[in-house]
Amino acid sequence: MNSKENDRLLELAEHYFRDNNYPFANEILNKVIELDFNNSKANELLAYIESNQGNKDVAHTLLQRACQSEGPSAAALYYLGDSFLEKRQFKEAKYYFTEALNRAGNFFEGLHDLGTACASLGEKENALIWYQKALDLRGDSYELFYNIGKIFDQLKNHEKAIDAYDSAIRLKPDFSEALFNKACALNDLKRYTEAIDVFGQLVKMYPETVGEWDYGGMLSSITRACSWSDLKRYEDNIIKLKNFNKNVNPFVFLALNDDAVLHKKAAMNFSEVNFPPKNNLGPIFSGDKNSQIRIGYFSADLHNHATTYLIAEMLELHNKDDFEIHAFSYGPNVHDEMRQRCMDAVDNFHDVRNLSDSEVVELARELQIDIAIDLKGFTQDGRMDIFALRAAPIQVSYLGYPGTTGAEYMDYVIADPTLIPDASQSFYTEKIAYLPNSYQVNDSRRAIASKVFSKAELGLPESGFIFCCFNANYKITPTTFDTWCDILKKVDDSVLWLFEDNLEAKENLIKEASVRGIDNRRLIFSGRVEHSEHLARQRLADLFLDTFPYTAHTTASDALWVGLPILTMVGKSFASRVSASLLTAIDLPELITETPAQYEDLAIELAKNPEKLNKLRAKLEANRLLKPLFNSKLFTRHIESAYSEMYRRYLDGLPPEHIFIKN
């Protein structure tokens, strides 16, 4: 067939294609391809026909053939990029979008989708460049403004993110995703009242919808601001969360109740919808034995952060003859004291913040990591998809998320017998790796500032009893606050010293205290200070009153480290048993209560009986370096024993099973 005849047939096929006469067009194009297999135009047109008929994979193959031929059109290059984007093969998508733009010059769809491919690859700055070029061509795309907002959110520039979401909402007032993201950005800026208002707009727009964008997100705003009037106002909506809507992050339940059955179901639902197992990277490598067990710790918090305050010494103490330690950091690239300790402690420190989840997993597999430790779970900035893709043959949930992940690909959770009693094993989808004392690692080098604080400079009274709680404000529930106010009423000249996370929570707590008959001068608030100074100032307090059901974690070990007793109440869930775990490991079980009445009575008794409290403080001081809680070397040997047992089972071809490490 000569060139002119070929062109005539292609012109006729294109005519039939545009008339939606696919059978005639198909027949002609197959005839052309039969004689000229790599004909770019014929393969391109046939790809469009197959795509319009729902045959996406066939269309993808035809587009690849069209683009591998000489002189593919910009349209073929673009649509092949679009097909790769749909398949989540972002590197390939980026390449073909770039080729299409090189061929045709700037056009909106190519620029927009190139930005999306870059965003998916973690190339945030590049994504913004392409999105801005697309915006120059079309300033009326609400989806484009929305995508720009998401990039600014990822870059932690929440003010600019809100501006972009507002532009999207102006173009599409009922744009629920933009409204939801705007509310979340307001949350990140601690503008909780504004966030609640935006979430409230969503509730009004979609009254029958129970999803993360309304009640789950709203609940986070409400609890962080201690806005309990809003908690009451939206009570019926929030109750619907217990129907286990699959879009709701299970983290929101932890401070609401200690119902471990609900926590497990919520986690399973959330994982199933948002982080299902992904097999597109293929099976994990075979279990050939390495000379050292290769451990990978994955976190966004490897800097001055509560998690790193706990794990730093363990990283330093790992037995480097038996273990090769890797840290995978996908948080901010800040160079502070704890970041440096982590970098110095591990064999290899990998800054992967700009890598996609797939690329992080590819790196972990290339390094043949044997055991991947997730230090985040469903907490802020977690990246569960790394584990859904299987970064390692053994995957462990530890320290960051206080509960089950509900994910089948998480093999173990690190715990202890107080944290997860045998009777509670069914509340976890993971197998339990039991350490003999407390599950919580601690740093026996934790520095306490030499500065001696005066009560006056912290706003504390010179006389009277000082109760305190430095837990995050969202952990304070109305029920807990009721108990605290009752305690204050029964202990004359006592005050409650609280952590001030945000001004809105402070104002709301003062208002709630007034409603309960407590003079606002009896509530003292202190904000963030450098960690060693935070430890030092706690020595001015007499007794730490724990929250329930989400108890103190790092804040509990902080208090015990400086010799401050912590009074807790134990529940059924993981989050409600952490303080009890720590107190058990330091041999102070007398500070663990089981009912609100016991908790209140003991707080009052200790405040009114200085001799009993002093004996407890003396016991705490004696136990601090004698009991296991702050014995970092002992803890490290125990967790290494757990890792070794996990690895042994894996090499023997055995499935994960509960592991019990002995002292």
pLDDT tops 90 at residue 593: yes
What's the CA angle centered on 496, arms 257 and 630, to 5 degrees? 70
* Chain segment 419-455, per-residue pLDDT in tens: 999 999 999 999 999 999 999 999 999 999 999 999 9
Residue in 369, 404, 135 with CA at minimum distance from that of residue 254: 404
Q: Mean pLDDT across the stretch 7-29?
A: 58
pLDDT tops 90 at residue 316: yes
Sign of CA dihedral 471, 475, 479, 481: positive
Q: For residue 289, what pLDDT is reported?
A: 76
Q: Fill in the amino acid letter for 436.
A: P
Mean pLDDT (the chain, rounded): 90
Q: For residue 76, what pLDDT is reported?
A: 85
* Chain segment 615-624, per-residue pLDDT in tens: 999 999 999 9
Percent of the chain beyond pLDDT 90? 74
Peptide bond into 393 cis (omega under 30): no
Sign of CA dihedral 351, 356, 357, 362: negative
Q: How confident is residue 213, by pLDDT bands cut at 50, 70 and 90?
A: low
CA distances from 201 to 170, 190, 195, 216, 590 (A): 14, 19, 10, 14, 48
CA distances from 386 to 279, 315, 351, 383, 465 (A): 12, 22, 15, 6, 48
* Chain segment 393-423, per-residue pLDDT in tens: 999 999 999 999 999 999 999 999 999 999 9
Q: Mean pLDDT across the stretch 24-45?
A: 62
Largest CA distance in the chain: 106
Task: Determine how β-strand 412-415 pairs with β-strand 348-351.
Answer: unpaired
Q: How confident is residue 582, by pLDDT bands cut at 50, 70 and 90?
A: very high
Distance CA 561, CA 449 (A): 13
Residue identified by tokens 């507002």 is 166
pLDDT tops 80 at residue 1: no
**C-beta neighbour count of 139 within 10 angstroms:** 11
CATH 3.40.50.11380 in the chain, residue ranges = 293-434
Q: Mean pLDDT across the stretch 177-182?
A: 94
- Contact of 401 with 377, CB cutoff 8 Å: yes
Q: How confident is residue 210, by pLDDT bands cut at 50, 70 and 90?
A: very low
Q: Mean pLDDT across the stretch 353-382?
A: 93
Q: How far is CA 14 from the centre of its chain?
A: 50
pLDDT tops 70 at residue 379: yes
* Chain segment 320-366, per-residue pLDDT in tens: 999 999 999 999 989 899 999 999 999 999 999 988 898 999 999 99
Q: How many CA atoms lie within 13 Å of 91's alpha carbon, on the beta-carbon side?
A: 5
| Domain 3-198: CATH class, spelled out | mainly alpha
Distance CA 569, CA 420 (A): 15
What's the CA angle centered on 337, arms 334 and 343, to 5 degrees? 75
- Contact of 388 with 277, CB cutoff 8 Å: yes
Residue identified by tokens 């390449």 is 95
Give me the DSSP letters along 588-622: -GGGEESSHHHHHHHHHHHHH-HHHHHHHHHHHHH
Among the listed ranges 87-101, 223-237, 490-504, 546-560, which one has the minimum average pLDDT value? 223-237
Q: For residue 240, what pLDDT is reported?
A: 65
Q: What is the dotted CATH code of the domain comprising 293-434? A: 3.40.50.11380
Q: Mean pLDDT across the stretch 557-576?
A: 98
pLDDT tops 70 at residue 22: no
456-629: in CATH 3.40.50.2000: yes
pLDDT tops 90 at residue 215: no
How large is the C-alpha radius of gyration of the chain? 29
Residue in 34, 35, 13 with CA at minimum distance from that of residue 23: 13
Strand order, beta sheet including 566-569: 523-526, 495-499, 466-469, 543-545, 566-569, 592-593
Q: For residue 23, what pLDDT is reported?
A: 64
Q: For residue 29, what pLDDT is reported?
A: 62
pLDDT tops 50 at residue 101: yes
- Its pTM stands at 0.88
Q: Mean pLDDT across the stretch 102-120?
A: 95
CATH 1.25.40.10 in the chain, residue ranges = 3-198
Q: How many CA atoms lie within 13 Å of 533's alpha carbon, on the beta-carbon side?
A: 9
Q: How confident is residue 636, by pLDDT bands cut at 50, 70 and 90?
A: very high
pLDDT tops 80 at residue 655: yes
